[in-house]
């Protein structure tokens, strides 16, 4: 029987047969993976391809393929627009505020929780500080409005009671960035402790014993034992945070900005919504979105590269 | 020795006190809203800060439920949450399972494709155009399908499936199970705890989602409760002038009651799921 085939053909045929056999044997895995692959292709990769309309004059009538190519026109318009400076400044400032004022909070909170000896109390505090994470941004905005409004909001009532003037927190440029940062801290800081606490629970207790014998107090132990041990977790979360630098979240900001504070609060996401969905300038707003995504990609790859170079693991 | 004991004790005391203050900061704003929603308008006007109302009043709730709008929107939210979560769980788990098994060819490549979506996305407008081209605008599919799988959850779930011992799959195979049977009869029961966590995360996301219905559901008849919440609380605020003057400004207690109603389901399930999710967050993210 072997004489009928050359060796190579036989191997090829057998390999093909093996492949088919293999696929048949694992057919459920292929069936399982197909819907997911289609999901990512349709809802993630087609939109990635869809960014070509940033280089075209997209009209719904002609569709993506037929619309005219216009090169960098929309980007030129964006970079010459005064709004661009405003959006860029707002995005960077709000992100920086979050990096500076939000990022360290979960670490500090986790360090504090880690020092609690009474298990019941620790669990109680955890239960309470996780709750805000489960409120939607609309609810968070709602709570902010109810508390800060000049019409009977408790904060302003307190200010007038203490002899001060009412402050229009909600409709004023001066307050929007602070409010957004405080909202983020209030909603996410407790939740953010989970990963740090997990990392801390993995620290070898002998290290604390050794530090104690060397005469280290509680602060010293935190600084010289706990923090170095959770460094890789901190670095990973920092990379993720920097990777999200341009993604401030549409929901939070859209629910907080209004005519009075949009000069300081408008960011790329909210602007894209207004220009694109509301005004129907699809190509121009896609160009803005693409600019944002590219900067985001560079930031996450860059911070990951830096983390790896400084001897940390990085996320990929 | 005694000195360090004293330092230790004062450290503990300050730490505990600070944590109590932080806990209060986390919960007081919301408690004030809950209390305020039960207070009368008059008491709110007079006292401002109400943690225990003197006179309980259900007026705000009566007002909310006297009209069909909010109850209906809650039913819609429940519908979106239940159906959306089922879609999420089924799709995420079968994809994660297939990608966790060695038998699947090209799984490294597919994983790369999935991880890449975490790094780069086309943005709001191209995604909107895809949903529009598929004819999903003004259908509930539009708020469920574009979020059908979270790449992040998928990766976590795959890590979890990969941590199951290989012998499990081998012995299942020897007993004559194909992968479908193995998945349903062995893997699912083993991963109930982590499934429950993912279910919670997905469900909370659906319940709280504002952007998707805001983008894709144009008809107020179809709006879930989060959008109405925005209409009542934010659009009707009179602090600034550019929004619809035609909307009547609701009383403080009505706003508060709407917030409570919109968070009610989460507050109801929170105590039951609380003990599970900490484990869930750490599945696959921290080893050992």
Distance CA A77, CA A82 (A): 10
Following CA atoms A295, A297, A298, A299 in sequence, which dihedral angle do they give, to the nearest 10 degrees?
80
- Contact assignment for B130 to A50 by CB distance below 8 Å: yes
CB contact under 8 A, B23 and A128: yes
The partner residue sitting opposite B98, judged by closest CB among A33, A282, A285, is A33
**CB within 8 A of B228, min separation 6: which ones?**
B69, B70, B73, B258
Say if A315 falls within a structural domain.
no
Candidate from B8, B32, B183 with C-beta closest to A218: B8
Residues of chain A with C-beta less than 8 angstroms from the C-beta of B124: 250, 269, 272-273, 276-277, 285, 289
Question: Do A64 and A86 lie in a common domain?
Answer: no
User: Does the pLDDT value for residue B184 go beyond 60?
Assistant: yes
Q: In this structure, what token pair is assigned to residue B237?
A: 């605020």
Is residue A76 included in any domain, yes or no? Answer: no
For B267, half-sphere exposure in the C-beta direction (CA atoms, 13 angstrom radius) is 13
Average pLDDT over every residue of B191-196: 85
Q: Which of A279-282's residues contact partners 24+ apart within 8 Å by CB, and which partners?
A: A282/A53, A282/A58, A282/A60, A282/B125, A282/B129
Residues A236 and A150 in one domain: yes
For B113-145, give one letter per residue: b (16+ CB within 10 A) or e: bbebbbbbbbbbbbbbbbbeebebeeebbbbbb
- Shared domain for A34 and A143, answered yes or no, is no
Q: What is the least distance, in Å, from the CA of A32 to any CA of chain B?
A: 5
Q: Which residue of chain A has the CA closest to B259?
A: A139
Contact check, Cβ <8 Å, A289/B242:
no
8 A C-beta contact, residue A187 and residue B274: no
Residue of A nearest to B110 (CA): A37
For an interface test with B, give the residue of A16, A40, A106, A184 to mutate (most B CBs within 10 A).
Answer: A40
User: By residue range, what is the domain housing residue A275?
Assistant: 82-309
CA distance B230 to chain A (A): 6
Question: Which chain B residues are closer than 8 Å to A33 by Cβ?
Answer: 94-95, 98-99, 104, 107, 110
Contact B30 A135 (CB under 8 A): yes
Q: Are residues A139 and A31 in the same domain?
A: no
Whether residue A266 is found in the same domain as residue A118: yes
Same structural domain, A99 and A202: yes
Phi, psi of A135 (to 5 degrees): -85, 140
Any domain includes A181: yes
CA atoms within 13 A on the CB side of B25: 14
Same domain, A186 and A114: yes
CA distances from B61 to A97, B48, B56, B70, B73 (A): 38, 19, 12, 10, 15
- Decide if A146 and B252 are in contact by the 8 Å CB cutoff: yes
B216 pLDDT above the threshold of 80: yes
CA distance B91 to chain A (A): 6
**pLDDT tens per residue across span A83-102:** 899 999 999 999 999 999 99
Distances in whole angstroms, Cα of residue B1 to Cα of each of A212, A289, B7, B38: 11, 62, 10, 54
CA distance B145 to B131: 9
Burial of B111 (0-12, 13-18, 19+ CB in 10 A): middle
Please name the residues in contact with A153: beta carbons below 8 A apart, sequence gap of 6 or more.
A145, A146, A147
Is A77 inside a domain boundary? no
Nearest to B239 among A49, A141, A171 (CB): A171
Distance, in angstroms, between A71 CA and closest chain B CA? 18
Is the domain of A255 the same as that of A121? yes
pLDDT in tens, A48-95: 999 999 998 888 888 888 888 888 989 999 999 888 999 999 999 999
Average pLDDT across chain B, whole number: 84
CATH number of B61-282: 1.10.3720.10
**A203 shares its domain with A57:** no
Q: What is the pLDDT of residues B8-61, one digit of tens each?
A: 888 899 999 999 999 999 999 999 889 888 887 767 666 666 677 777 888 888
Task: For residue A68, give the 3-state DSSP assignment.
Answer: strand
Q: What is the pTM of this model?
A: 0.88
User: What tokens does A97 get?
Assistant: 């505020």
In a domain, A316, yes or no: no
- At a CB cut-off of 8 Å and minimum separation 6, what does B161 contact? B96, B97, B100, B101, B187, B191
Q: pLDDT tens digits, residue range B224-282?
A: 999 999 888 776 644 433 333 334 445 778 888 999 999 988 888 888 777 777 666 66
**DSSP one-letter code for B250:** P
Radius of gyration of chain A (CA): 27
Query: Across the interface, which of A117, A127, A151 has its CB nearest the CB of B238?
Result: A151
Those residues with Cβ within 8 angstroms of residue A105's Cβ, 6 or more apart along the chain or in another chain: A185, A189, A192
- Is the CB of A146 less than 8 angstroms away from the CB of B255? yes
Identify all chain A residues contacting B32, using CB atoms and an 8 Å cutoff: 147, 154
Does A103 share its domain with A51? no
Going by C-beta distance under 8 Å and a sequence separation of 6 or more, which residues neighbour residue A42? B130, B134
pLDDT, one tens digit per residue, over A138-181 is 999 999 998 888 877 888 888 888 888 888 898 889 999 999 99
Quickly list H helices, B209-251. 211-216, 225-230
Q: pLDDT tens, A210-221? A: 998 988 888 889
A46 and A138, same structural domain?
no
Residue B214 pLDDT > 50: yes
List where CATH 1.10.3720.10 sits in chain B: 61-282
**Interface size, chain A vs chain B, as Cβ–Cβ contacts under 8 Å:** 299
When divided into structural domains, chain A yields a total of: 2
pLDDT of B1 reads 41
Task: Please tell me whether the interface predicted TM-score (ipTM) of this complex is above 0.85.
Answer: yes
State whether A116 and A67 are in the same domain: no
Q: Is there a domain that residue A270 lies in?
A: yes
CATH number reported for the structural domain that contains residue A248 in this entry: 1.10.3720.10
**CA angle centred on A43, ends A78 and B225, rounded to 5°:** 90
Q: Give backbone dihedrals phi and psi of B248, rounded to 5 degrees, phi first.
A: -70, 135
Q: Which of B16, B26, B241 lies nearest to residue A121, judging by beta carbons?
A: B16
Alpha carbon distance A20, B22 (integer Å):
61
């Amino acid at each position: 029987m072997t004489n009928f085939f050359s060796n190579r053909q036989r191997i090829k045929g057998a390999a093909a047969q093996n492949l088919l056999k293999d696929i048949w044997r694992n057919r459920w895995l292929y069936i399982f993976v197909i819907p997911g692959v289609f999901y990512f292709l349709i809802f993630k990769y087609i939109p990635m391809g869809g960014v070509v309309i940033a280089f075209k004059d997209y009209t719904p009538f002609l569709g993506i393929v037929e619309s005219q190519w216009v090169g960098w026109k929309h980007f030129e318009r964006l970079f010459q627009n005064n709004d661009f400076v405003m959006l860029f400044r707002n995005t960077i400032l709000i992100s920086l505020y979050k990096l500076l004022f939000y990022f360290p909070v979960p670490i500090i909170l986790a360090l504090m929780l880690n020092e609690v000896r009474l298990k019941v109390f620790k669990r109680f505090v955890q239960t309470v500080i996780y709750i805000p994470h489960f409120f939607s941004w609309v609810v968070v905005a709602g709570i902010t409005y109810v508390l800060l409004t000049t019409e009977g909001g408790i904060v302003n009532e307190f200010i007038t009671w203490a002899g001060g003037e009412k402050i229009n927190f909600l409709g004023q440029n001066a307050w929007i960035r602070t409010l957004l940062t405080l909202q983020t801290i209030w909603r996410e800081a407790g939740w953010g402790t989970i990963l740090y606490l997990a990392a801390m629970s993995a620290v070898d207790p002998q290290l604390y014993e050794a530090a104690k014998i060397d005469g280290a107090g509680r602060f010293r132990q935190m600084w010289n034992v706990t923090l170095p041990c959770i460094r890789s977790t901190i670095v990973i979360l920092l990379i993720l945070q920097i990777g999200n630098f341009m993604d401030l979240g549409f929901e939070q900001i859209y629910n907080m900005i209004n005519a009075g504070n949009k000069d300081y609060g408008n960011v790329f996401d909210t602007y894209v919504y207004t220009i694109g969905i509301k005004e129907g300038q699809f190509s121009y707003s896609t160009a803005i979105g693409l600019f944002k995504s590219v900067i985001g990609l560079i930031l996450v790859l860059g911070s990951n590269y830096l983390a790896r170079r400084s001897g940390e693991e990085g996320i990929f | 020795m005694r000195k360090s004991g004293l330092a230790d004790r004062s450290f503990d005391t300050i730490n505990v006190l600070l944590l109590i203050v932080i806990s209060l900061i986390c919960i007081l704003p919301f408690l004030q809203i809950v209390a305020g929603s039960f207070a009368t308008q008059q008491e709110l006007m007079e006292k401002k800060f109400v943690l225990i109302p003197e006179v309980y009043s259900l007026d705000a709730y009566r007002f909310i439920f006297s009209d069909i709008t909010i109850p209906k929107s809650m039913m819609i939210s429940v519908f979106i949450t239940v159906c959306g979560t089922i879609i999420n769980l089924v799709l995420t788990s079968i994809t994660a399972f297939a990608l966790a098994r060695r038998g699947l060819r090209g799984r490294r490549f597919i994983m790369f494709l999935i991880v890449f979506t975490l790094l780069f996305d086309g943005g709001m407008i191209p995604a909107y155009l895809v949903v529009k081209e598929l004819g999903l605008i003004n259908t509930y599919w539009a708020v469920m399908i574009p979020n059908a799988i979270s790449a992040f959850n998928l990766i976590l779930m795959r890590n979890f499936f990969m941590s199951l011992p290989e012998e499990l799959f081998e012995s299942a195979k020897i007993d004559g199970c194909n992968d479908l049977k193995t998945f349903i009869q062995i893997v699912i029961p083993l991963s109930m705890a982590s499934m429950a966590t993912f279910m919670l995360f997905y469900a909370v996301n659906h319940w709280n989602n504002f952007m998707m219905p805001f983008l894709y559901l144009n008809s107020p008849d179809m709006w879930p409760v989060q959008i109405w919440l925005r209409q009542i609380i934010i659009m009707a605020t009179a602090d600034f002038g550019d929004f619809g003057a035609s909307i009547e400004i609701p009383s403080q207690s009505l706003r508060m009651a709407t917030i409570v109603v919109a968070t009610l389901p989460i507050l109801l399930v929170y105590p039951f799921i609380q003990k599970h999710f900490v484990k869930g967050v750490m599945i696959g993210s921290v080893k050992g």
